[in-house]
Amino acid sequence: MAELSLSGLVLGMVQTNVYFAADQETLQALIIDPADEAVQIRAHVKEKGLIPKAILLTHGHFDHMAAAADIRAYYDIPIYCHEAELPLLKNPRWNRSGLFHTESITLTPDKTVKEGDELTLAGLSFRVLHTPGHTEGSCCYYFPGRGILISGDTLFRGSYGRTDLPTGSDEKIAQSVRRLLRELPVKTLVYPGHGMFTQIGLERQYNPLAEAL
């Protein structure tokens, strides 16, 4: 089994976490949520000696994909996202680029994923967990071999994603967060789209949505 190495950058106007999940031996890598500043992403790849193989999006807001098209073109690699996120990716008002970014962005992924998909890319095996609520097509990527969850804007340290943007839902975010807290092992490390990492066990104790578990 490949040994996963995780590194990251904080980029863009709202300080988004960009993750690089790599096979420690081959240095093949997944770029997760390329938020902005493609030049810095490429510099990080070069510094670490990584070989990008795919881009994964946790959801389609501009602050998680503004650099995705540039990175796709530079490395000639595919973009993956959940199938339910296509309408948001194609609508600059919904993905907020038309309101907050310097340009309106539309994006068409190369591949779509769905709940329960088990994929092996860049030598790394992971599972897709559909976690609607922040957006309809929000998803998390779970690497069971390393006990790591990339949670996007679904689950934060002591908090969870906002639901007042297009396709958001209070009811669905509550269901999604509680599902993660119930189903994943307590030692699972959670790497969110913004802020510090956390752990499922800690969120079972302190997350506001854990009260109804």
List the CATH number of the domain containing 195: 3.60.15.10
Structural domain total, the chain: 1
Give 165's DSSP letter: S
pLDDT for res 101: 60
Determine the structural domain holding residue 132 and report its residue range: 4-212
pLDDT for res 205: 95
Residues 6+ apart with CB under 8 A from 156: 192, 193, 194, 195, 198
Can you tell me the distance from the alpha carbon of 194 to that of 34, in angstroms, rounded to the nearest whole number?
13
Comparing C-alpha atoms, which of 171, 172, 134 is closest to residue 151?
134
Tokens 């309408």, residue located? 87
pLDDT for res 100: 64
Tokens 């680029």, residue located? 97
Q: Please give the helix or strand (H or E) that residue 178 lies within, else none.
A: helix 170-183
The encoded tokens of residue 45 equal 């790849």
User: In a structure prediction context, what are the per-residue pLDDT tens digits for the chain, which is 213 residues long?
Assistant: 678 999 999 999 899 999 999 999 999 999 999 998 999 999 999 999 999 999 999 999 999 999 999 999 999 999 999 999 999 999 999 999 867 666 789 999 999 999 999 999 999 999 999 999 999 999 999 999 899 999 999 999 999 999 999 999 999 999 999 999 999 999 999 999 999 999 999 999 999 999 766
State the amino acid at position 83 in one-letter form: E
pLDDT for res 211: 76
Q: What is the pTM of this model?
A: 0.96
Backbone torsions φ then ψ of 42, nearest 5 degrees:
-65, -35
* E-assigned strand segments in 12-63: 16-23, 28-32, 51-56
Q: How far is CA 76 from CA 72, 106, 190, in A?
A: 5, 18, 29
